[in-house]
Amino acid sequence: MSVVSPAAIVPPTSRVAMRQSSLRRWLRTNGPYLLMSAPAVALLFVFAYLPMFGIIIAFKEYRFDQGIFGSRWIGFTNFRFLFGSDIAWRITRNTVVMNFLFIVAGTIANITVALLLYELQGKLRAKLYQSAMFLPYFISWVVVGYFVFAFLSLEQGIANKVLVSLGLEPVAWYREPKYWPAILVFVHLWKSVGYGSILYLAVMLSINQELFEAARVDGANKLQQIRYITLPHLVPVVIVLVLFAISGIFRSDFGLFFNVTRNQAALYPTTDVIDTFVYRALRQLNDLGMSAAAGVYQSVVGFVMVVTVNWAIRRIDPDKALF
């Protein structure tokens, strides 16, 4: 004897009505959230997904008079030219090394500043310090470049005046590439640490205070409270932010590397990154195909890095993986 499922007993019209009712309930529940996210989704589609069609330029000998479809297809020639010289190795090394330094130094500095702000006594003082550190985030890299030049100028720079007053020789900072990894890390931290510490501070403020009270009753000092209570609560946020940072490890802050270094050719051995190379290829060489090839190279390797790091985190602790 065959068994008839309950769904087969319900008439088709009733099943359609049930699905429509379920859809209306789902829209009533999630409709406001969908409406709020619509501008962000549209922005992401227009500026992130729609331009992906331009990847085809990397495989063509692009000419402005012929357009994308009319330009001659040359396959991987642009990539072979890019990787056939030492430029590819230099810009890749500088991009990865500098971004790695930014990630490590930025994470440590952001957590440290957030801890200091969290431990401040008095809300007014904490707000004052937080606002003072947050202000550099809004300053343009062009202005920051002039600030740095005022410090590092060979003749009138404050740094050289201090060196001379100490009986030392002045340094031609804009001709010595070996100093610039440290200089760029310092400038990056100065501009971003106020903004970067906000999220960690918000997580600290959400920690249940009863945990700290229990730790104090058990005799834990301040460092032990930070080690065993505060830092474990920050681990999930750190993993997510580091994953996002790694996704852009092959993309550099163009304003930092172009304006702060004043685009000095003598500094290229340590400051020339993929983004500045693409800019020069477009402006000086007028080679849109090779610029597009460098951009595709950035995107593909960045995607592989994110997937690899997320896979490694999932192997260690699946609950802390991003996806």
pLDDT digits (tens, 9 = 90+) for 222-253: 888 888 898 998 988 888 888 878 877 888 88
Per the DSSP assignment, residues forming a β-bridge with 72 are 61
Does the reported pTM lie above 0.85?
Answer: no
> Is residue 258 scored above 60 in pLDDT?
yes
Q: Which carries the bigger pLDDT value, residue 60 or residue 129?
A: 60
Per-residue pLDDT band for 94 (boundaries 50, 70, 90) equals very high
Torsion over CA of 43, 45, 51 and 52, rounded to 10 degrees?
140
Please give the Cα distance from 295 to 56 (Å, whole number). Answer: 11
Tokens of 176: 């010595």
What top-level class would CATH report for the domain 67-320? Answer: mainly alpha
- How many Cα atoms are found within 13 Å in the side-chain-facing hemisphere of 194? 17
Helix (H, G, I), strand (E, B) or coil at 139: coil
Token look-up 């209306």 returns 24
Confidence check: pLDDT of 182 > 90: yes
Q: How far is Cα 86 from Cα 119, in angstroms, rounded to an integer?
A: 49
Angle in degrees, CA 62, 251, 181, rounded to 5: 125
Cα–Cα distance, 172 to 164 (Å, whole number): 13
Q: Compute the half-sphere exposure of residue 119: CA atoms within 13 Å on the CB side of its CA.
A: 12
Among the ranges given (109-123, 259-273, 309-323), the one the predictor scored with the smallest mean pLDDT:
309-323
Q: What stretches of the chain show up as alpha helix (H) in DSSP?
A: 6-9, 12-44, 67-70, 77-83, 86-119, 123-134, 141-152, 158-165, 180-205, 209-217, 222-225, 231-247, 254-255, 268-271, 274-283, 288-316
**Is 149 a residue whose pLDDT tops 90?**
yes
- What sign does the CA torsion over 121, 124, 128, 130 have? positive
